[in-house]
Amino acid sequence: VPSGERAVITTFLDVSEMIVLKNALQKAEEGNRAKSSFLFAMSHDLRTPMNAIIGYAELMERHWGDNELTTNYLHKLKGASQFLLALIGNVLEIARIESGKETLNEAPWNLKKINDTLEIVLDREILNKQLHVARNIEIQHADVYCDSLKIQEIIMNLVSNAIKYTPDGGKIDVDIEEMEAVGEDSIILRICVSDTGIGISQKYIPHIFEAFTREKNSSESGIMGTGLGLRIVKSFVDLMDGSVIIQSEPGKGSSFIVEIPCRIVSEEERIDQAEQR
């Protein structure tokens, strides 16, 4: 083929390759959108019957709770249903994140309320485990602009993982503090959750934020989980322009360190908001 014609063929091939690639990308995007909307619709519809199952199990526990065997069965039914409901909630969240619909909902929030979040998660998750929990919360600029629900969900996920993956007799440290940021009107909220649990292998750490992945030792040890919590944590932290660092040694324990920049509510804004109320 004469060189001039070869150039035309090459250009032609490049263009056709680009069209094939563009079509493939378009199809992949459509597929992804269809998957997300299917997950969203399905999860949404599953929630109502799950809530009914939990509600009726609670009612039955109240009325027939005097028989030990029945109480035990109902307790298990409720536990499994609550796990399923949490799973559905997480799938819904992942579908929202993957469809790009998840956004930040920032408003002034008092960081001292993190104490209440910790009470709730510790109360709910620690159950019959013999763990030593140390809390250290140092907050000075209480009011900041942030998405408080997402911050609370991050803390709940990290603390409940620390509890789940730490055998009896272990220790969990929750350190939450404010650090100086570059701008004077901002702070960095630093959340550090450490445990003396089963730890994570270096090989698995790069995959830890992928949805539905679990390390072999945690799934084989019979600890319940879905592999969705940390995917949600990472997406929320990314949305808030923050960072997550993991330090871990198998058999010794793990530390998850999250840093989130937050703008401090100024004195004028505080006065304005008080007047509007």
Q: Which is nearer to ligand ADP, 76 or 252 (CB)?
A: 252
Is residue 250 a contact partner of residue 218, using CB atoms and an 8 Å limit?
Answer: no
- List CB contacts of 268: < 8 A, sequence separation 6 or more: none
170 scored as a contact of ligand ADP (CB under 6 A): no
Question: To which H or E segment does residue 85 belong?
Answer: helix 68-98
Number of Cβ within a 10 Å radius of residue 195: 28
| Least distance from ligand ADP to the Cβ atom of residue 219, Å | 7
229 scored as a contact of ligand ADP (CB under 6 A): yes
Q: Which of 193, 173, 195 is nearest to 251 (CA)?
A: 195
91 scored as a contact of ligand ADP (CB under 6 A): no
Chain residues 71-90 in contact with ligand ADP, contact rule CB under 6 A: none
Q: How many residues bind ligand ADP (CB under 6 A)?
A: 21
226 scored as a contact of ligand ADP (CB under 6 A): yes
Question: Per the structure block, which two tokens stand in for 210?
Answer: 């992928």
236 scored as a contact of ligand ADP (CB under 6 A): no
Class of residue 228 by CB neighbours under 10 A (exposed 0-12, middle 13-18, buried 19+):
buried
Is residue 143 a contact partner of residue 264, using CB atoms and an 8 Å limit?
Answer: yes
Q: Where are the alpha helices (DSSP H) in 105-215?
A: 114-126, 148-164
Is residue 218 a contact partner of residue 198, using CB atoms and an 8 Å limit?
Answer: yes
161 scored as a contact of ligand ADP (CB under 6 A): yes
Stretch that binds ligand ADP, among 30-38, 154-162, 182-190, 237-245 (CB under 6 A): 154-162
| Least distance from ligand ADP to the Cβ atom of residue 242, Å | 17
247 scored as a contact of ligand ADP (CB under 6 A): no
Q: Which is nearer to ligand ADP, 117 or 254 (CB)?
A: 254
| Least distance from ligand ADP to the Cβ atom of residue 215, Å | 3
Binding mask 190-209 for ligand ADP (x = CB under 6 A): -----x-xxxx-------x-
| Closest residue to ligand ADP, based on beta-carbon distance | 225
Angle, CA 211 vertex, CA 89 and CA 121 arms, to 5°: 50
- Pick one of 254, 259, 260, 265: the residue that binds ligand ADP (CB under 6 A): 254
167 scored as a contact of ligand ADP (CB under 6 A): no
Instruction: Quote helix, strand, coil % in the chain, to nearest 5.
Output: 55, 20, 25
| Least distance from ligand ADP to the Cβ atom of residue 24, Å | 30
Stretch that binds ligand ADP, among 67-75, 95-103, 125-133, 212-220 (CB under 6 A): 212-220
Question: To which H or E segment does residue 39 belong?
Answer: helix 3-64
151 scored as a contact of ligand ADP (CB under 6 A): no
Question: Per the structure block, which two tokens stand in for 119?
Answer: 């009470």
Is residue 176 a contact partner of residue 190, using CB atoms and an 8 Å limit?
Answer: yes
Chain residues in the site for ligand ADP (CB under 6 A): 157, 161-162, 165, 195, 197-200, 208, 214-215, 218, 225-231, 254
